[in-house]
Amino acid sequence: QQTGPLRHFLQFRDFTKEEILYLFDRAKLIKDKFKRYEPHRPLHDRNLAMVFEKASTRTRVSFEAGMYQMGGSVIHLTTGDSQLGRSEPIEDTARVISRMVDLVMIRTFEQTRIERFAAHSRVPVINGLTNEFHPCQILADIFTFIEHQGPIQGKTVAWIGDANNMAYTWLQAAEILGFTLHVSAPKGYQLEAARIGQPSAQVLRQFDDPIEACRGAHLVTTDVWTSMGYEDENEARRKAFANWCVDAEMMAAADPAALFMHCLPAHRGEEVSADVIDGPQSVVWDEAENRMHVQKALMEFLLLGHL
């Protein structure tokens, strides 16, 4: 199993700035080797268990392909095909799984659920998305930003739409890495004051008008109007978010070299227009691919520490 002290990645701020920047350096090295078809197998004989209590395409494929590429193997569990679906306590599941594998990734509902798992786990636990956070995605997004535009420190990121798990993770990243987050969400779907504390204007600025939020931004990013687990609110959300579609007018307010990102899956004509997501400023396919490279760096770090 693992050598150093037990670490988890349950939210972005579980890692320091130095650790995040180290992960980006490793991800670049790992990606370059992958592109050269050079083997990189530091996790030979290690096993990752993935627990999905919600659907996934990118998270599953990126962790699974990444672990095999590093010489390890994976076990894929879902609520429906495990005893989690028959009310086995998450603590018991953690105790059992973590005696058999080296690393666990979980996608679930409440953050408290992954925290309860981690508290009873003998091995590192990675958050593959909860209602509250999506830290692996933000690692990939910032790595992608750096690839295209250089360091993110001092830059401005505009978050347009639902103040969801992605938005709260962006906020943690802004605090740690030193950039400014602009957020524009409809009333009723904005960041909750109780959750964000009192970040300075260098870290967070909130806007009623999404075009104002985009002004001067170096990255414009959005996400689905209805996240997994909130499907009952779909109709109300479609009405509330009608003016929060990232379109050419919003991109025109941003920096001329601004990038567009979306963690995917996307709904063209809802949160983003087709001409933006399929246009020249969009880096969504690099962003999706980079999930795999940053998560390989993350798994390597959690199991082997600094190399």
Residue 202 falls in the annotated catalytic set: no
- Round to whole Å and give the CA distance between 237 and 162: 9
Given the residues 8, 26, 46, 107, the one annotated as active site = 107
Q: Which residues pair with residue 259 across a beta bridge?
A: 219
Q: How far is CA 107 from CA 4, 89, 289, in A?
A: 25, 16, 19
Is the four-CA dihedral 256, 258, 259, 261 of positive or negative sign? negative
- Round to whole Å and give the CA distance between 195 and 247: 29
Site string for ligand CP, 72-111 (x = CB under 6 A): ----------------------------------------
- Round to whole Å and give the CA distance between 274 and 19: 36
Q: Which two tokens stand for residue 62?
A: 């990126």
Residue 137 falls in the annotated catalytic set: yes
Kindly identify the residues of this chain, within the stretch 162-181, that bind ligand NVA according to CB under 6 A. Answer: 164-166
Residue 223 falls in the annotated catalytic set: yes
- Round to whole Å and give the CA distance between 112 and 273: 35
Under the criterion CB under 6 A, does residue 56 sit at the interface with ligand CP?
yes
List the single partner that 166 binds among ligand CP, ligand NVA, none, CB under 5 to 8 Å by kind. Answer: ligand NVA
Under the criterion CB under 6 A, does residue 290 sit at the interface with ligand CP?
no
Under the criterion CB under 6 A, does residue 59 sit at the interface with ligand CP?
yes
- For ligand NVA, the binding residue among 224, 251, 266, 283 (CB under 6 A) is 224
Under the criterion CB under 6 A, does residue 51 sit at the interface with ligand CP?
no
Asked whether residue 165 is marked as a ligand-binding residue, the answer is: yes
- The 8-class DSSP code of residue 84 comes to G
Are 136 and 156 spatial neighbours (Cβ–Cβ below 8 Å)? no
- For ligand CP, the binding residue among 27, 77, 129, 246 (CB under 6 A) is 129
- How many residues touch ligand CP (CB under 6 A)? 8
Asked whether residue 263 is marked as a ligand-binding residue, the answer is: yes
In three-state secondary structure terms, 206 is strand
Asked whether residue 264 is marked as a ligand-binding residue, the answer is: yes
Residue 154: phi and psi, rounded to 5, are: 85, -5
Q: Measured at the alpha carbon of residue 92, what is the angle toward residues 86 and 96, in degrees to the nearest 5?
A: 110
Given the residues 137, 172, 281, 295, the one annotated as active site = 137
Q: Which residues bind ligand CP (CB under 6 A)?
A: 56-59, 129, 137, 263-264
* Catalytically active residues, by annotation: 107, 134, 137, 223, 263, 291
Report the binding-site residues: 56-59, 83, 107, 134-137, 165, 223, 227-228, 263-264, 291
Binding site for ligand NVA (CB under 6 A): 129, 164-166, 223-224, 227-228, 263
